[in-house]
């Protein structure tokens, strides 16, 4: 398979286009400051991943900002901090403050000239709208967990993606799903029969950061350390 075989790039947003780990850690600072001994960055992200994964499975129709508030509640309880409802609400509303990766806007601007661009995200519509100004392009379609009623890696998110792109004249064989998370994105993309490109944003770090560990046997068609590397590979393919 070649990058030029596809007509449509479907993107996970948070972790792939938006630097959610930096955003999460920054938004957790008021809570971490209240602890006698704060966990390390890696430990905090791993705890976030554990609670987010559990709550997304338990509450698939809950809006992401409300789910994030519950994650904050769970982290405070785990770390022995007093409950802080206002702090949890602020954490839930922090998505729009999370920064884009440095290469995101320029890479998307280039890719927009060659592909349809589509978002498949685990957030709610308002949270994505707040982030979209950092991305610099208009997407051909945006599908969120709020629209679908389930969170990735539920296979229904990818069934929704394939079904709705078909109404736009996009065949499954024309889609390249482009994402960082092997757990949320590549494993269910494999099951849906989609080609995928792994944007390995954590290539210089150990562990899985803010995502759960992937199941065994996850595969992908391309691997790039950044979106800029994907752009360079596309330019070389041309």
Stated length of the chain: 238
Pick the catalytic residue from 5, 12, 200, 221. Answer: 12
Distances (CA, A) of 168 to 7, 118, 144: 12, 11, 17
* CA nearest neighbour of 196 among 100, 93, 120: 120
Judge whether 97 counts as a catalytic residue. Answer: no
Joined together, the tokens standing for residue 160 give: 């929704």
Residue 146 neighbours by CB distance under 10 Å: 20
Q: What sign results for the dihedral spanned by CA atoms 54, 51, 53, 149?
A: positive
Q: Cβ(18)–Cβ(98) under 8 Å?
A: yes
Measure the CA–CA gap between 238 and 235, rounded to whole angstroms.
5
176: enclosing H helix or E strand: strand 175-179
Q: Which residues are catalytic?
A: 12
């Amino acid at each position: 398979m070649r990058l030029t075989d596809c007509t449509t790039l479907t993107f996970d947003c948070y972790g792939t286009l938006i630097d959610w780990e930096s955003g999460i850690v920054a938004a957790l600072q008021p809570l971490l400051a209240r602890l006698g001994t704060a966990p390390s960055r890696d430990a905090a992200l791993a705890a976030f991943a554990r609670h987010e994964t559990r709550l997304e499975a338990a509450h698939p129709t809950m809006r992401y900002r409300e789910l994030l508030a519950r994650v904050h509640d769970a982290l405070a309880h785990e770390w022995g901090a007093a409950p802080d409802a206002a702090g949890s609400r602020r954490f839930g509303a922090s998505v729009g403050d999370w920064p884009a990766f440095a290469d995101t806007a320029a890479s998307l601007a280039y890719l927009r000239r060659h592909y349809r661009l589509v978002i498949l995200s685990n957030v709610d519509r308002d949270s994505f709208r707040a982030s979209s100004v950092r991305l610099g392009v208009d997407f051909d379609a945006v599908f969120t967990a709020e629209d679908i009623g389930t969170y990735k890696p539920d296979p229904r998110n990818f069934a929704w993606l394939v079904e709705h792109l078909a109404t736009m004249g996009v065949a499954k064989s024309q889609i390249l799903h482009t994402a960082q998370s092997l757990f949320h994105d590549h494993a269910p993309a494999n099951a849906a029969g989609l080609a995928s490109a792994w944007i390995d944003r954590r290539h210089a770090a150990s562990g899985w950061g803010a995502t759960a560990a992937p199941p065994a046997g996850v595969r992908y068609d391309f691997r790039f350390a950044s979106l800029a590397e994907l752009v360079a590979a596309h330019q070389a393919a041309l």
